[in-house]
Amino acid sequence: MTAEPLVPIDLAQIDVRVAPDLLPFAAPLENGVTGWNDRDVLWLGPDEWLVVSEPQTASTVARELHDALAGHHHSVLDVSANRIVFDLIDGLEVLSSGCGLDLHPTRWRPGMCAQTLFRKAQVILHQRDERTTRVFVRPSFERDVIDRLAATRVS
């Protein structure tokens, strides 16, 4: 893992819950990520997705989704503050110090995501490309997760 300090990235995050056939974009497979224009759509569950886009776009994305799903039972929530996000570069080894997921590059590939545990903190991992792992974590756990990653990195 590279040694730059971990800096949270400001991103819009929208939680969507609806029957999958109603989505205005191609639903990602289980534990997968698809694109929706320039946005990432992360699979969180069989009827739950996280749309991740540029900062300040939360209300735009939410409105688009509301419009597309109008008349159907759905839930669209701005959860941009519900998790902080940072990108780890070459960080799979250090993540494996506290995560039981199979993170071998032949199994854990770009375009995959998972909700799992890093030690005792629930995290969402999104492998963006060969080197970049995006980590979503509740803000209250931010310091714990970052300190734990750093403790493994320096040791």
List contacts with other proteins (CB under 8 A): 15, 17, 30-31, 44-48, 73-75, 77-83, 93, 96-104, 107, 114-117, 119-122, 138-144, 147-148, 151-152, 155
Cα(120)–Cα(100) distance, integer angstroms: 11
Taking the complex as a whole, how short is the minimal distance between the CB of residue 103 and other proteins, in angstroms?
Answer: 8
Residues 59-72 as b/e (b if ≥16 CB within 10 A, e otherwise) read eebbebbeebbeee
Closer by beta carbon to other proteins, 61 or else 121: 121
**Closest Cα to residue 135, out of 100, 81, 101, 89?**
89
Closer by beta carbon to other proteins, 40 or else 94: 94
Closer by beta carbon to other proteins, 39 or else 125: 125
